[in-house]
Amino acid sequence: MILPVSDNPRLTSILERIEDAAVLPRMWQVAVVNSQRAGVNDHGPTHVKIVAHNGLKILRLLGEAGVVPGVVAAQGLTFADAEVVVVLAGLLHDVGMTVHRDSHESHSLFLVHQALPRLVEGIYSPVEAVTIVHETLHAMIGHNSMQRCLTVEAGVVKVADALDMSKWRSRAIIKGGRVSIHSLSAAAIDKVAISKGETRPVRVEVTMNNSAGIFQVDNLLKHKIRHSGIAEHFEVRIRVEGEAERQHVQTFTL
pLDDT in tens, 208-231: 887 777 777 877 888 899 999 999
Q: Is position 156 within any domain?
A: yes
Q: Is position 155 within any domain?
A: yes
Q: Is position 2 within any domain?
A: no
pLDDT class for 165, splitting at 50, 70, 90? confident
Mean per-residue pLDDT of the chain:
84
pLDDT class for 253, splitting at 50, 70, 90? low
Q: Is position 3 within any domain?
A: no
- Average pLDDT estimate for 87-112: 82
Q: Are 208 and 247 in contact (CB under 8 A)?
A: no
Q: Is position 89 within any domain?
A: yes
- Average pLDDT estimate for 130-138: 96
pLDDT class for 174, splitting at 50, 70, 90? very low
In Å, how far from its chain's centre is CA 57? 11
- What is the pLDDT, as a whole number, of residue 248? 44
- Average pLDDT estimate for 58-73: 98
Q: Measure the CA–CA gap between 98 and 94, rounded to whole angstroms.
A: 8
- What is the pLDDT, as a whole number, of residue 249? 47
- Average pLDDT estimate for 90-99: 84
**Number of domains within the chain:** 1
pLDDT for 199 beyond 50: yes
Better-scored residue on pLDDT, 243 or 214: 214
pLDDT class for 159, splitting at 50, 70, 90? very high
Give the CA angle between residues 100, 154, 215 to the nearest 5°. Answer: 65
Helix (H) or strand (E) segment spanning residue 238 = strand 234-240
pLDDT in tens, 176-194: 455 555 666 767 888 899 9
List Cβ<8 Å contacts ≥24 apart for 164-172.
164/47, 164/50, 164/51, 164/54, 164/192, 165/189, 165/192, 165/206, 165/216, 165/220, 165/221, 166/190, 166/191, 166/192, 168/42, 168/46, 169/41, 169/42, 169/47, 170/41, 170/42, 172/35, 172/36, 172/42
- What is the pLDDT, as a whole number, of residue 173? 45
Q: Is position 64 within any domain?
A: yes
Q: Is position 1 within any domain?
A: no
Find the domain containing 236 and state its range: 9-253
- What is the pLDDT, as a whole number, of residue 52? 95
Q: Is position 57 within any domain?
A: yes
Q: Measure the CA–CA gap between 46 and 37, rounded to whole angstroms.
A: 18
Better-scored residue on pLDDT, 253 or 70: 70
Rg of the chain over Cα atoms, rounded to whole angstroms, equals: 18
CATH code of the domain covering residue 32? 1.10.3210
DSSP string, 43-90: -SHHHHHHHHHHHHHHHHHHHHTTPPPHHHHHHS--HHHHHHHHHHHH
Helix (H) or strand (E) segment spanning residue 135 = helix 126-141
